[in-house]
Amino acid sequence: MNKMIKVAFLVAALAAGPAFAAVNINTATQADLEAVKGLGPAKAKAIIAYREAHGKFKSVDELDNVKGFGKASVEKLKGELSVGSDKAQK
């Protein structure tokens, strides 16, 4: 019986897929950023350029200052991006 429970747990864990971790826009590479749905090469480069020119992002909302981003696109991306160990700040 115990073995059946372990197998069932393993199957459930595999079916759930990999754990999701928000991409840290302060440390992400261009490839990391491009892996986020909604971010292509141009936006990834713009994030990195902004970060290099202005320093670390204090919040994901600061993406609104980056060329190619508006409030609507920032809102869509908030759940997938972070500025550190915490999820996107509101």
pLDDT tens digits, 49-90: 999 999 999 999 999 999 999 999 999 999 999 998 644 443
Q: Residue 12 pLDDT > 80, yes or no?
A: no
Architecture of domain 21-90: Orthogonal Bundle (1.10)
Average pLDDT over residues 29-48: 95
3-state secondary structure at position 23: strand
Q: Residue 81 forms beta bridges with which residues?
A: 23
Average pLDDT over residues 3-23: 58
Tokens linked to 46: 């713009």
User: Are β-strands 23-24 and 81-82 bridged in parallel, bridged antiparallel, or unpaired?
Assistant: parallel
Which pairs from 66-69 meet CB under 8 Å and 24+ separation?
A: 68/42, 68/43, 69/43
Mean pLDDT for the chain overall: 82
